[in-house]
Amino acid sequence: MAENVFDKILAGAIPAPRVWEDEQCIAIRDINPQAPVHVLVIPRTKIETVDDVTEQQKGLVGHMTWVATEIARREGIADEGYRLVWNCRRHGGQEVTTIHLHLLGGRSMKWPPG
């Protein structure tokens, strides 16, 4: 499995300040933010796409969702609301082949997404 940018961030080879860190995942600010708050929650376990999450790993996905909600509260965007996004493969717009949950907030979001 080829190393990608998130593998390097997890290994500390590329610097990225962590807004969250625990035994299961880290969270960093997106380098190209699409909203005033744009944070990526990344698991320490390598999983390529959300479609590859196994039944044994579903707790990790739940934990990552809870982490994103906790960060949203800490960032002060929870009361107004925010968006959580999993991009999956080509049609989902996934660029980095390691699962990551986008937390976007601090502005009003549009629907449908592009």
Q: Residue 39 is encoded by which pair of tokens? A: 């944070």
Residues recorded for the chain: 114
Q: Residue 25 is encoded by which pair of tokens? A: 């995942």
Exactly one of 47, 96, 106, 107 binds ligand 5GP (CB under 6 A); that residue is 96
Burial class (CB in 10 A: 0-12, 13-18, 19+), 6: buried
28 binds ligand 5GP (CB under 6 A): yes
- Contact by Cβ (8 Å): 101, 95: no
Is residue 100 part of the annotated active site? The answer reads yes
Instruction: Pick the piece of the chain touching ligand 5GP (CB under 6 A) from 53-61, 62-70, 71-79, 88-96.
Output: 88-96
Instruction: Pick the piece of the chain touching ligand 5GP (CB under 6 A) from 27-35, 44-52, 60-68, 70-78.
Output: 27-35
Q: What are the backbone angles phi and psi of residue 67, rounded to the nearest 5°? A: -60, -45
Give the footprint of ligand 5GP on this chain (CB under 6 A). 5, 14, 16, 28-32, 40, 87, 93-96
Catalytic site residues? 100
